[in-house]
A and B are shown apart, each in its own frame.
Chain A
């Protein structure tokens, strides 16, 4: 993969090609169009059967009382009213929002910083890129979550290191004040995927801009803030949207690290974990569906706000 990324960054984007193909009226294009749909059919079928179907099913369930074991009973808006007075839900929202708004900016900043330095022509770039990308592949896996619990446990690696310098560490994952931080660190650590995208974006910025700026006497900071950042805004935006959505949906790490409880004392009770507990722990699938729909609406709203705000700060350079 690394090779192709580098090759394709070298060529300029054929901006017009994608528009011309769509309008074509000749029969070859039509035939190709049919073939395309044929090849896409498995995806469409999969989307309809295993995504759209269940999503609509859960919309219905969100208006019912459904214990999983008995048929659902229509209860109207009861589930949504209940959300207003559910204290644990409110603490789950606080936990999730804290996580999203702390970990995503940190992660993106780290990703951008490393991409920037790697772009300065480091020897063995593909190797570094792979190494930094690796955590993104591993970050949401069960194995890493278990490893994390060990690293931050009372007798874990972190405390053994602290012990060497004479500090008696806490059991980080089992203390309500620190448990969420360990998960934030875990998310920041998976900076690899936005970093790779930043790196690709940086390579697209024509060097002549920098050369021109240098001739005009612009220092490195000016070049970074006046050229790099503005030209990179579409990519920053793209990463922001993706990472925000992903962070809102965090589940695996929280589930494994807390053993499914969201503990200690609900300090890692992520929204999705709470949905899971309601659905599978207390047999309240109707309420869980309502919660899931609320999350969908919130994520959609944040994404919409993102897109609206983007008009003010994202420059597409055209």
Chain B
């Protein structure tokens, strides 16, 4: 590029060339800024440098300053217990986490202890990036960890990751908004999707502009839940195919379109804008502007503190009316060990400390879901703060009634988030019909996982 323009530039003299050079240099600086944007957050040196030991391992997670603080406290406690191990904490916000992880794994420079979530343990495990944890079973026993939660990291007969805690996708409601609208809280053991649609519309109507009955949180998790209730199948089959029928997705989008048109949920532009702002404090519920919003149960404390309201967790609508329960318990996150790690045993010791000890749990509490180790959970229950206790109570309440089958998406399924968001935009902006969206969801998911 320099050569191409250089030839022409010479002709019109030193001035222009000099200016051009300056432009190049400055332009180069400009784009560098862009590249390093993702890295800025990574400078978070988490571990105490004073504890430099014989072995150094790196532990990566995504999060926010609060999570970093409590995690660093747990790391310091671990280092005090294991003076020969130096843990380097490495945190970044969620948006950049998996991009960076993919690059690091490709460069054979991945962290020893990797935080994963959703379908990522399978995505990375089946591609050979994660250690088979049976190799370090001595350092990392899993006897006290909930079976169901463990299964979230168990694929092709290999345990790739250990759950950090248990989570559920549920309805968060704001009693203050209900009260303002003069609408009674629903009975979540009996309510239906029709009730949900009606209540949301009523709240929107009886509250000032800008407050909505519900946020439109269309995402793979929610469509999964809806589909399981209606057909018994979620998005995927056990053997990694697509299970959802186009008609089910069509019904979902008919429902959300209807809600948007009635004003129960915000306009398409606002929903699309909110989709780009994942932080709990940026959501409508976090801003105190929604009566109802689907979310993960471990977000309750963050949503409560952002909205300053006494938010409650509820069962999803239609739970008692469908073919099967749509809700499920899932590992909110999980820890795996990089297959190329030089110190797998020390990495396993760190994970063991984080998931199997009361001490780590006393710092981390339920920030990464309720501890999946039953003994640890029992031990810390009295210490839980009010917000976390509410979450624990809710999970205890629904534990036995939720759908025990949980199918984690196969390789390629992590693309589903982008696919659903795009189709949701297309439907809400009336560029395609719910029917087309349903068909395209199935087609695009099939292409993504094949």
Question: Once bound together, how far apart are the Cα atoms of A235 and B431, in whole Å?
Answer: 43
Q: How far is the CA of A104 from the CA of B20 in the complex (A)?
A: 18
Known pairs A1-B22, A137-B26, A137-B30; A8 contacts B5 (CB<8 A): no
Is there a chain A Cβ closer than 8 Å to B231's Cβ? Answer: no
Across-interface contacts of A261 in B (CB, < 8 A):
275-276, 418, 421-422
A283 at the interface (CB under 8 A from B): yes
A41 to chain B minimum Cβ distance, whole angstroms, is 17
- 1/0 contact trace for B389-426 toward A, CB 8 Å? 00000000000000000000000101100100110011
State whether the Cβ of B37 lies closer than 8 Å to any Cβ in chain A. Answer: yes
For A260, give its contact among B95, B124, B273, B425 (CB under 8 Å).
Answer: B95
Interface hub of A174, A234, A266 (most chain B Cβ within 10 A): A174
Please, which residues of chain A bring their CB within 8 A of the CB of B95? 259-260
In the complex, B43 has a CB within 8 A of chain A: no
Which single residue of chain A is at the shortest CB-CB distance from B415? A282
Q: From residue A11, how far is it (CB to closest CB) to chain B in Å?
A: 8
Would you call B128 an interface residue if the criterion is a C-beta within 8 Å of the partner chain's C-beta atoms?
yes
Q: 0/1 per residue, B86-108, Cβ < 8 Å to A?
A: 00000000010001001101100
Least Cβ distance of B212 to chain A in Å?
A: 13
User: Do B15 and A154 touch (CB < 8 A)?
Assistant: no
Q: By the criterion CB–CB under 8 Å, are B421 and A196 in contact?
A: no
In the complex, are the beta carbons of A176 and B11 less than 8 A apart? no
Q: Are A282 and B429 in contact, with the CB atoms below 8 A? A: no
Does any Cβ of A come within 8 Å of B33's Cβ? yes
- B19 at the A interface (CB under 8 A): yes
Q: Tell yes or no: B184 within 8 A of A by CB.
A: no
CA distance A55 to B95 in the complex (A): 27
- The answer to whether B27 and A193 touch across the interface, beta carbons within 8 angstroms, is yes
For A154, what are the chain B residues with a Cβ–Cβ distance below 8 Å? Answer: 269-270, 273
| Least Cβ–Cβ distance between B183 and chain A, in angstroms | 26
- Any chain B CB within 8 A of the CB of A242? yes
When distances are taken between beta carbons in the complex, the residues of chain B under 8 Å from A8 are 13-15, 18
Whether a CB of chain B sits under 8 angstroms from the CB of A58 is no
A138 to B12, CA, bound (A): 27
B102 lies within 8 A of A142 (CB): no
Roughly how many angstroms separate A258 CA and B268 CA in the complex, as a whole number?
A: 15
Complex: how many Å from CA A207 to CA B212?
66
Chain A residues with CB under 8 A of B103: 68, 280
Whether A200 lies near B431 (C-beta < 8 A) is no
Min C-beta distance of A20 to chain B, whole Å = 14
Bound Cα distance from A176 to B124, whole angstroms: 34
Q: Quick one: closest A residue to B31, CB to CB? A: A140
Interface-centre pick from A13, A138, A264 (highest chain B CB count, 10 A): A264
Q: Is there an interface contact between A142 and B418, defined as CB atoms closer than 8 Å?
A: no
- Complex CA–CA separation, A196 to B15 (angstroms): 10
Q: Measured between C-beta atoms, what is the minimum distance from A110 to chain B in Å?
A: 17
Interface centre among A139, A246, A281 (most CB of B within 10 A): A281
Is B106 a contact partner of A69 (Cβ separation < 8 A)?
yes
Residues of A within 8 A of B366 (CB): none
Task: Let me know if B102 and A5 touch, CB within 8 A.
Answer: no
Proximity bits, A278-298, B CB within 8 Å = 1, else 0:
001111010000000000000
Contact call A265/B429, Cβ cutoff below 8 A: yes
Name which of A170, A171, A245, A265 has the most chain B CB atoms within 10 A of its CB: A265
Q: Is A181 an interface residue (CB 8 A)?
A: no
**Interface pair A263/B421, CB less than 8 Å apart:** yes
| Smallest Cβ-Cβ distance to B277: which chain A residue | A259
A sample of 18 more A-B contacts (CB under 8 A), given A69-B128, A176-B429, A265-B425, is A18-B10, A68-B106, A69-B106, A136-B27, A140-B27, A234-B8, A237-B8, A238-B5, A238-B8, A238-B12, A238-B16, A241-B5, A256-B37, A258-B276, A259-B276, A265-B431, A285-B106, A303-B4
What are 29 A-B pairs with beta-carbon distances under 8 A?
A4-B18, A5-B19, A8-B14, A69-B102, A69-B124, A136-B26, A136-B27, A137-B26, A138-B30, A140-B34, A153-B273, A170-B269, A171-B269, A175-B269, A197-B19, A200-B16, A204-B12, A234-B12, A241-B5, A251-B34, A252-B31, A261-B275, A261-B421, A263-B272, A264-B268, A264-B272, A264-B425, A283-B123, A285-B106
Chain A interface residues (CB < 8 Å from chain B): 1, 4-5, 8-9, 13, 18, 67-70, 136-143, 153-154, 170-171, 173-176, 193, 196-197, 200-201, 203-204, 234-235, 237-238, 241-242, 245-246, 251-252, 255-256, 258-261, 263-266, 277, 280-283, 285, 303, 307, 316
